[in-house]
Chains A and B, each alone.
Chain A
Amino acid sequence: MSTNVLFDAPGPKARVRNRVYGVLASVAILGLIAFVLHRLDVTGQFQHGLWDTYQYNDTQERIVEGLLTTLKTFAIAAALSLALGALLATGRLSDHRPVRWAATVLVEFFRAMPLLIMIFLLYAAIFTTEPMWALVIGLTLYNGSVQAEIFRSGIKALPKGQSEAAYAIGLRKTQVMTGILVPQAVRSMLPSIISQLVVTLKDTSLGFIILYEELLFVGKSFAQQQVPVGGVYPFIPMVIVFGSIYILLCLALSGIANWIERRTKRSRKGAPPAPPVPVELGNAAGAGPAA
């Protein structure tokens, strides 16, 4: 149901009413924004000195460094989680019961665990001096399990005829998987896979809590080191600047997912079934041209 069915095309009265509501809502929303801006101004968040630092090369370099650390962590975690996802999905689809069970237990366990708790454990027990690996391995275990379920549901959603036909022409299970099922499943699940990568990207900020120097941590330590201007520490400018960076990064990645989703939808719609070709059974019906 498209949402515009919820209300009629507005007539003159309803148009006036909607406009009144629209004005009221706009006033309320703008009022809220104005209140926030006013309060921030009153508490001195927009003072000149608080924002100056973002003009300096030194500051920008630190931000870029934090950004690169975040992106590096994300890239490693993304690659590893996709690999682990493929491995676990293979395990869950295995013909051998013990392998299937082991994979199921791993997937269920890592999906049910709060990621932060796992990262803490890895940090406290194994990677005490290397918070990056605690973060990367934690992200990999959690997102890998989720990706495994995405892969699996993609393969399960394929029409049964695909694997039946492949087996019928004598392919082995590995060949059926790698040659027939996985390519189709990945194609149809690509939007979900990328959405999960957005989650991975967002979760790199959990490194903040184990004091790993990624973007958010850089932001906070940076704000703490600044000299307060008029008794105000530059925390709000930091949240605004670093928040925008995160939102832009995630929006870019979700944008790719949406684009792929639109494209795959269009291509499916854009390829209509070929028009039925009239089958000629020789010239028996007398329809064909005479020889």
Chain B
Amino acid sequence: MNVLTDHFAEFREGFLNTVELTVLSALLALVLGTLIAAFRVSPVPALRVFGTTWVTLLRNTPLVLLFLAVTLGLPALGLKGWDSFWLAVLALGCYTSAFICEAIRSGINTVPMGQAEAARSIGMTFGQTLSQVVLPQALRTAIPPIGSLMIALTKNTAIASGFNVAELGALQKQLNGDEGYNIYVIFLWIAICYLIITFVISGLFRLLESRMAVAR
């Protein structure tokens, strides 16, 4: 108990940083993932190849390696001066986007064929069919898998602690050995912090799911 009250400021900062990291990389992942999913079903082969390559590469790369690639790679590309927080957002966002893309793509597969056929028969183009008719329905069915991806993302933010981001995961290293606190107690409080975030996310997604369910 002492460790929480003694270091409340650090816990609060770590907690808020983890939330911020989760939210920002989730936004990046959702936008990128939807875009890549659209690429993967588009009539343009070059975009399809790009989408497939993106997903295959990112899904099979360990996240730590991706963090390393982003941290070392961006300076080599001449994009210097990124703060480690934004590098973490970039790595987490790109990594999760590959999984989001696949969730949305399987969501697209659940939309009944008649929906797209009807859209095409009234003369909608591919872009209109996808953005007005198919994607809104696909996104709604993809809500549960996207929810579990968001929880996975929250847990993955812990890896950012290995790359100098001061979030919850970093607390364990920082407080361990400091003033002789019991490490299990530190662990327990950090665990509770993560549980709070993941519970909120799963609650939020359950709410979304019940609100947005498609009647079929």
In Å, the complex CA distance between A157 and B184 comes to: 38
Whether B173 pairs with A236 at a CB distance below 8 angstroms is no
Interface of B, secondary structure class, is helix
Which residue on A lies nearest to B186, using beta carbons?
A121
Closest beta carbon of chain B to A205's beta carbon, Å: 4
Proximity string of chain B (110-122) to chain A, C-beta cutoff 8 Å, 1 when within and 0 when not? 1111011100100
In Å, the complex CA distance between A114 and B65 comes to: 17
Whether A3 pairs with B162 at a CB distance below 8 angstroms is no
Q: Which of A40-79 contact B (CB under 8 A)?
A: 40, 42-43, 45
Interface of A, secondary structure class, is helix
Residue B129 CB within 8 A of the other chain: yes
Whether B60 pairs with A246 at a CB distance below 8 angstroms is yes
Whether A112 pairs with B194 at a CB distance below 8 angstroms is yes
In Å, the complex CA distance between A2 and B134 comes to: 12
Among the interface residues B60, B69, B155, which one has the most CB atoms of the partner chain A within 10 A? B60
Which residue on A lies nearest to B18, using beta carbons?
A114
Proximity string of chain A (117-129) to chain B, C-beta cutoff 8 Å, 1 when within and 0 when not? 1001100110000
Count residues of chain A with CB under 8 A from any CB of chain B.
53
Residue B86 CB within 8 A of the other chain: no
Residue B109 CB within 8 A of the other chain: yes
In Å, the complex CA distance between A246 and B109 comes to: 30
Q: A18 touches which one: B44, B111, B117, B195 (CB < 8 A)?
A: B44
Which residue on A lies nearest to B70, using beta carbons?
A239
Which residue on A lies nearest to B156, using beta carbons?
A114
Residues of chain B within 8 A of A246, CB atoms compared: 60-62, 65
Closest beta carbon of chain B to A8's beta carbon, Å: 6
Q: A1 touches which one: B73, B112, B198 (CB < 8 A)?
A: B112
Known: A40-B76, A43-B78, A216-B62. A7 touches B126 (CB 8 A): yes
Proximity string of chain A (97-128) to chain B, C-beta cutoff 8 Å, 1 when within and 0 when not? 00000000000000011111100110011000
Closest beta carbon of chain B to A47's beta carbon, Å: 12
Using a CB–CB cutoff of 8 Å, the interface residues on chain A facing chain B are 1-3, 5-8, 10, 14, 18, 21-23, 25-26, 29, 35-36, 39-40, 42-43, 45, 112-117, 120-121, 124-125, 198, 202-206, 208-209, 216, 220, 235-236, 239, 242-243, 246-247, 250-251, 254
A-B contact pairs, 25 of them (CB 8 A): A2-B113, A3-B41, A3-B108, A5-B116, A6-B108, A7-B126, A14-B43, A22-B44, A22-B47, A25-B47, A112-B195, A114-B154, A114-B194, A117-B191, A120-B169, A121-B183, A121-B187, A125-B184, A198-B60, A204-B62, A206-B62, A216-B62, A216-B68, A239-B72, A250-B59
